Amino acid sequence: MAAAPVWSVDPRTGKQREQVAVEATAQEVDSVVRAAHGTRAALADRTVRTAFLRTAADRLEAAREQLVEVADAETALGPVRLTGELARTCYQLRAFADIVEEGAFLDVVINHPDDTATPPVPDLRRYKVPLGVVAVYSASNFPFAFSVVGGDTASALAAGNPVVVKSHPDHPGLSELVAKVVRRAAAEHGIPVEVLGLVHGFEAGVELIKHPLIAAAGFTGSIRGGRALFDAAAARPVPIPFHGELGSLNPVVVTEAAAAERAEAIGTGLAGSMTLGVGQFCVKPGLVLVPSGAAGDGLVKSLTDAVSDTDAGVLLDHRMRDNFLAGVAERAQLPEVETPVTPGAGGEHTVSAGFLTVPAGRLADEGAYDLLLEECFGPVTVVARYDDDDQARSVLSRLPGNLTATVHLSTQEAAGEGRGAEILAELTPLAGRVLVNGWPTGVAVAPAQHHGGPYPATTSTSTSVGGTAIERWLRPVAYQNTPEALLPPELRDDNPLGLPRRFNNHLER
């Protein structure tokens, strides 16, 4: 049987653009993984690795015009958004190059023998080493930043691991182009091009997670798909770490005082956040707790006006469009659910933004309204009107894990008066990033960033954005009573590589 073709599709029309590849067979996946495994030694030198990451960023920037053109043709996200996303991706590569160059990520700790301790301490030297070949599953909604050379790939390469990417079917042409650019950058530094493998097809993704040489995996996508891969990773004869980002409702709490103080600004800000990128951000606010009464009414009016002025947009593919239309229709049919602005079809290939309102009391107990506590991918949010703090607290207590949780406070509450600190304490168990008087869309690439959260937001406690994302692809090793001549240079007393380390309980920079 001939291999199934992989087509590039225009989401604005639903028509095929061109065939860019064929789906990989099990034998081809095996070949790609084994070839990647064979490149591990080429990544061992941190200096070479650092130069490779920086060159990859340079080459991607040089190819910006072509990359953005293809990305827009396959995703309809627009040149402005995509140009910014490519810039973020290049920044991320350079940020990881800086981390590798500094070397603190290796977590070097050296303890000389201490016979006076109880029990006695032998000579111990600990640092971190790469896991091996990492499988990366691309996301649809960030064709640069969470795809072939996105955060998972960049952090895995920075840690010294080869990568095999399972491309997303929504942008296969772009995936091929990006992989070629990065491979050329690798070759410039004597690294075999097989250091970055690329496979297409659903079955290829299944075969990839099962391959015995795959040492870990990173995933961004749906709860259903991510959970299936997570279970497969755990069911292997040798289970592997699976760092999956699966889904998030990203709740927002607006206090009565905040709504009374700036209802119009909050409503306008919410509209911008929930419709950004046609609502296709993993941190889109999907549930907003707004007080009943006049202050909340003003916020809803502001939201209504702003969302009504939002143009219809194209989703990443027609399957997502069908799911969005079915999802909002099912939610709108629930009793007491109202649609001040009805979300739905904006045209043959587009969708229109909207939002739903519901009494918060309906969400406090299990039942049909649980549907409103599930993520709906696209430009829609649910505004739950609460009567008092206890009712809002009851809704929050029923939420699963999230990537973000947000509270909007008044000026006095932000200064420490009222329930501000109490609400933060209630939101902290729900999410990996807690915001005050802001909106969750927009994830800065910074050392202190955490993009993760309790399940089902993610399947681990790690982050997929920021410098500490590199920790996912490393494991610690301790050497005991090992002669100095046999130690790796990172662990020798004279510190020939000049690494930051903790030496006999003292931090050395």
The residues annotated with a catalytic role in the active site are 245, 282
Radius of gyration of the chain (CA): 25
CA of residue 103 relative to chain centroid, distance: 24
| Cα angle: 185, vertex 188, 194; to 5 degrees | 65
- Residue 254's nearest CA partner among 439, 90, 472 is 439
Q: SS3 string of 40-108?
A: HHHHCCHHHHHHHHHHHHHHHHHCHHHHHHHHHHHHCCCHHHHHHHHHHHHHHHHHHHHHHHHCHHHCE
Q: Is 304 helix (H, G, I), strand (E, B) or coil?
A: helix
Distance CA 165, CA 292 (A): 48
Checking DSSP bridges between strand 163-166 and strand 431-436, what pairing results, if any?
unpaired
- What sign has the CA pseudo-torsion 414, 419, 421, 426? negative
| Phi, psi at 304, each rounded to 5° | -60, -50
Distance CA 81, CA 314 (A): 14
CA distances (Å), 397 to each of 160, 368, 435, in order? Answer: 41, 17, 18
Distance CA 390, CA 364 (A): 10
Question: Angle 202-210/26-37 helices, nearest 10 degrees?
Answer: 50
> How long is the chain?
509
Distance CA 196, CA 174 (A): 15
- 136 and 473 Cβ atoms separated by less than 8 Å: no
Residue 325 DSSP code:
H
